[in-house]
Amino acid sequence: MAVEPTGTLPLQSEQHIVASRQMVRALCQDLKLSLVDLTKMVTAASELSRNTLIHGGGGQMRWEFVERNARRGLQLHFEDQGPGIADLTLAMSDGWTSGSGMGLGLPGSKRLVNDFEVASTPGAGTRVSITKWK
């Protein structure tokens, strides 16, 4: 799979979730992440892609290679224009579940990556950004 340094994938179907996992795997391999870090990033991306599709009604995944203090990393953004998250504090609490997905939820995804940001506006959508550093 050819890897571009930046790009976008739609998240409108189950096939797109599979494609997002494949793309994240290729991006992590290009960055030469360890197998453990690659697995963590693919797992987080899978969960967040599913959230974007199921809870956000579809959206997109954007990626970019980033650099900070001579370190390289991979940053992913999951964006939708869905209903948003009514209670972000509750959604970020351990043990809370919407009843679907892999059961990781947002807090589980956060634990798998180095940097995690979420912004959500009820009625206007959600954006989750994650970064894994080499």
Could you write out the three-class secondary structure of the chain?
Answer: CCCCCEEEEEECCHHHHHHHHHHHHHHHHHHCCCHHHHHHHHHHHHHHHHHHHHCCCCEEEEEEEEEECCEEEEEEEEEECCCCCCCHHHHCCCCCCCCCCCCCHHHHHHHHCCEEEEEEECCCEEEEEEEEEC
pLDDT one-digit tens code per residue, 21-79: 999 999 999 999 999 999 999 999 999 999 999 999 999 999 999 999 999 999 999 99
Report the predicted TM-score, pTM, of the whole model to 2 decimal places.
0.92
pLDDT number for residue 4: 87
Q: pLDDT: is 1 or 23 the higher one?
A: 23
Choices 3.40.50.1000, 3.20.20.210, 3.30.565.10, 3.30.465.10: CATH for 6-133: 3.30.565.10
Domain segments of the chain: what residues? Answer: 6-133
* Bigger pLDDT: 39 vs 85: 39
Q: For 92-118, what is the mean pLDDT?
A: 79
